[in-house]
Amino acid sequence: RSRFIAGLRATDGFTLIEILVVLVIIAIMTSAALYRITVTGVDRGLDIEGDRFCDVIAAATQQSGLEGRDLGLRFLPDQYEVVAYSAFTNEWRPLADEGNYERHSLPAGVHLSLEVEGKVTVLKPPADKDPVLPQVILSAAGDTTSYRVVLSREGSENTYTVEGMADGTLKVTRPGSKP
């Protein structure tokens, strides 16, 4: 009787070796799936950053029309922000108190290039006394400066391109897709 019970116990579960073999197979399959994603050239970080940029632009464009005030996009070498025009002071001011519009720094290794109305714009850090001036205007009337922003990652050929049309619409080209 004890031999019969002992025989059942030996076949009643999985051995440590069997469990380890299954874990190794799962790890290999997972790494193969991750490798395929990387090989296809999809840069999820760049995609997320581009989506965030598009969301900020779309919200600012809509807010400009709803509130009847001109907003602008100010680009720096590794940052961007939404600014608002004040007719009372006759100057542009950052919207620092509005969370989505405050100055946003790009992640390390991500670069931004800008073309305004077909001309390449050199982005440089502002001096302390430089006035806040946007490169792109989002007019309360719905008109927008035509622009093209390209987000790219250092060491990669992937780009996320956003083209702002004069009517305020956006044309987006994601990493890995063809324009």
Residue 3 has pLDDT above 60, yes or no: no
Higher pLDDT, 1 or 99: 99
pTM beyond 0.85 = no
**pLDDT tens-place string over residues 42-81:** 667 788 888 999 999 998 888 888 888 899 999 998 899 9
Residue 38 has pLDDT above 70, yes or no: no
**pLDDT tens-place string over residues 143-174:** 888 999 999 888 888 888 999 998 888 888 88
Taking phi over 0 as left and psi of -120 to 50 as alpha, with beta for the rest, 168 belongs to: left
Residue 90 has pLDDT above 60, yes or no: yes
With beta carbons less than 8 A apart as the criterion, state whether 149 and 165 touch.
no
* Partner residues linked to 114 by β-bridges: 121, 149
With beta carbons less than 8 A apart as the criterion, state whether 137 and 70 touch.
yes
Q: What is the mean pLDDT of the chain?
A: 83
Residue 5 has pLDDT above 50, yes or no: yes
Residue with tokens 């250092």: 154
Q: Which strands, in side-by-side order, build the sheet including 159-164?
A: 119-121, 110-116, 147-153, 159-164, 170-173
Instruction: Supply the DSSP symbol for 167.
Output: T
Higher pLDDT, 132 or 99: 132
Q: To the nearest whole percent, how much of the chain has pLDDT over 70?
A: 84
**pLDDT tens-place string over residues 111-124:** 999 999 989 999 98
